[in-house]
Structure 1
């Protein structure tokens, strides 16, 4: 089980930053997802969240908040099956310009770009977004604030 830290990154206007991913062997298969990735060695999840955010987006000026959600997921990608235990941290930033120079070789072959989404745009999209209930989860977060303890999301298997 791969341990993963992700960031629900919000700007001052409550827009969320998502990456546009695709299957390297089939660029027609696309989805949107939050920044983040696997822990390295004995790295903490918080440290991994900050490192991954910087590598994937170039954003380093971030106030990292509590863990909002946890989920287990399993999916095929780049010729193998990935099984992940993901923790989603709340992140706030004023830095909205992105830079992808720090992405890994695999990310360069599988990320088409980044985009800031309003809650309304996210709720209206017909594109695939992970986690699948992200629009609803974001609306609850903005309406009610962070949960007192991380919410455990249903397991997703693709």
Structure 2
């Protein structure tokens, strides 16, 4: 059910995965609830006039220092709609997920904006199994199965 006060937002996210199929996640918090920490994929809201692929590569560069063109992403591998509070507002976010494989990458957060500098405190590469075993919140919750499916992992029945 959609909250009537939810602000609509379009976003694009990047599943940046290394040669071992580990996905890069950032850990942050909601400024209005700093005790609530969670892991999330690279990405964010689209700027006016941006396509999802354009927004995804802009966010990838800002949040990791990795620069690629939109054509490097191909088509989205996942889409969802989420509702969540952030900094005292409620959002309804439609988002596309792209996958980008790299051998490895040394994350550079110099491109963080003010809110990211204030709320993001860590980054980490996670395997699907590490995510499945973790008791830390992460988004999207289906990420371990998505990464497993993309990597060709045999999923248990």
TM-score by length of 1: 0.85
Q: How does 1:49-88 map to 2 (within 5 A)?
A: 49-61=56-68, 63-88=72-97
RMSD: 1.5
Between the aligned partners of 1:16 and 1:56, the Cα distance in structure 2 is 14
Q: How many residues align structurally?
A: 144
Q: How does 1:79-98 map to 2 (within 5 A)?
A: 79-98=88-107
Report deviation, 1:141: 1.7
Residue 66 of structure 1 and its aligned partner are, at CA, apart by 2.4
Q: 2:52 aligns with which of 45, 57, 73?
A: 45
- Write out the 4+ residue segments of structure 1 that deviate beyond 3 Å after TM superposition: none
Check the 8 A contact 1:64/1:92 in 2, yes or no. Answer: no
Find the aligned partners of 2:133 and 2:111 in 1 and give their Cα distance: 31
1:4-42 deviation per Cα after TM superposition (whole angstroms, max 9, x unaligned): 010011111111000101122332211111000111111
Match of 2:5 in 1: none
Q: Distance in 1 between matches of 2:74 and 2:122?
A: 25
Q: Which runs of 5+ in 1 are unaligned?
A: 145-158
Of 123, 135, 138, the residue aligned with 2:132 is 123
**1:27-68 C-alpha deviation (Å, 9 max, x unpaired):** 221111100011111111111100001101112258423211
Structure 1 segment 124-143 matched on structure 2, within 5 A:
124-143=133-152
TM-score, normalised by the number of residues in structure 2: 0.85
Q: Tell me how far apart the structure 2 counterparts of residues 77 and 41 of structure 1 sit (CA, whole Å).
A: 20
- Partner of residue 36, structure 1: 43
Is the 1:5–1:45 Cα contact (8 Å) retained in structure 2? yes
On the 8 A contact 2:57/2:68 being kept in 1, the answer is: no
Where does the alignment leave 5 or more consecutive residues of structure 2 unmatched? 1-7
